[in-house]
Chain A
Amino acid sequence: MKVRVHVSLKPGVLDPQGRAIHHSLEGLGFTGVNDVRAGRLFELDVADSTSDETLDDMCRKLLANMVIENYRIEKVAA
């Protein structure tokens, strides 16, 4: 089973990297970019029997830092 885990900073957490990317986009002449937030995407290939609970556990214990980040699990159709 293919699973994508999207990890993003919680609203309100300062994102210096997103801000730098934002400035760089503006420097390239792109207008109308209101905000940029940088995140991470993990692509996992796990046993089909892996439960939602286990996937949640993986996110909470390692893939995301729950102090500053949120995560979203997306199962990818084969």
Chain B
Amino acid sequence: MAFRSAVITFPGSNCDRDMADALEKVSGTAPHRVWHGDHDLPEGLDFIALPGGFSYGDYLRCGAIASRSPVMQAVIAAAEKGVPVLGVCNGFQVLTESGLLPGALLRNSVIRFVCRDATLKVENAQSLFTSGYEAGQEIVIPVAHHDGNYFADDETLDRLEGEGRVAFRYAENVNGSARAIAGVLNAAGNVLGMMPHPERAIETTHGGTDGRALFESAIKGLVGA
């Protein structure tokens, strides 16, 4: 069964090709490319990816304008029906701005843009996106962002931790995120937002392949081994 995925491109997205390439290399099927102004998604999608970048120039707040674009209404409806949605970097910001994930991403506490490899600890290895890892496993995934400082109030953070919705945590907190959170899941477990870029770590020429298991987990979980 072919894996039907889509990568959404907003004006200012710049990791959409990397994301599409990763999905195609791991699944064997090229994803649909969907433009922000489209009102409808292709039929029968197994997976939707919101890529990194600087949608709408980061005007207003990172991800704010993108989250109100026409295609996001369709993405929100699909996510609510259970279609898996992965948001990476700017995609994570779009997911919080759209209300699909709790919290917000503030300017890095160090002020500077942070671009480096980050070691992450896999906190939840049971989810659709993380079943290819082991709980507590440390993986190295690149980060490249200015606004990745995850914020939510204490009550929300306690709930996220209590429900196992913290997918990844930074081994070394590179951006000041609350409780070093690098990636969070929604309550149903079909939406994952993360600042680090797994699509930049899927083949040895990338300098590491620790991101590959994320895509493999999702594809295996959705269309079988």
Contact = CB atoms under 8 A, between A and B. Distances in A.
Nearest to A16: B107
Interface in B78-102: 96-97, 102
Interface string B136-157: 0000000000000101100000
Contacts of A63: 60
A16 B109 contact: yes
Contact of A16 (B97, B102, B108): B108
B152 A67 contact: yes
Contacts of A17: 107, 111
Contacts of B151: 13-14, 67-68
A62 interface: yes
A65 B61 contact: yes
A70 to B, nearest CB: 13
A76 interface: no
B104 A16 contact: no
Contacts, number: 36
A65 B106 contact: no
A20 interface: yes
- Say which size band chain A's interface belongs to: 10 to 19
B68 A62 contact: yes
B71 interface: no
Given A13-B151, A62-B60, A62-B64, A68 B106 contact: yes
A47 to B, nearest CB: 21
A44 to B, nearest CB: 14
A70 B187 CA distance: 26
Nearest to B96: A67
A59 B34 CA distance: 29
B51 interface: no
6 contacts: A14-B149, A16-B110, A17-B107, A62-B60, A63-B60, A68-B104
Interface of B: 60-61, 64, 68, 96-97, 102-104, 106-111, 149, 151-152, 176
Interface of A: 13-14, 16-17, 20, 61-63, 65, 67-68
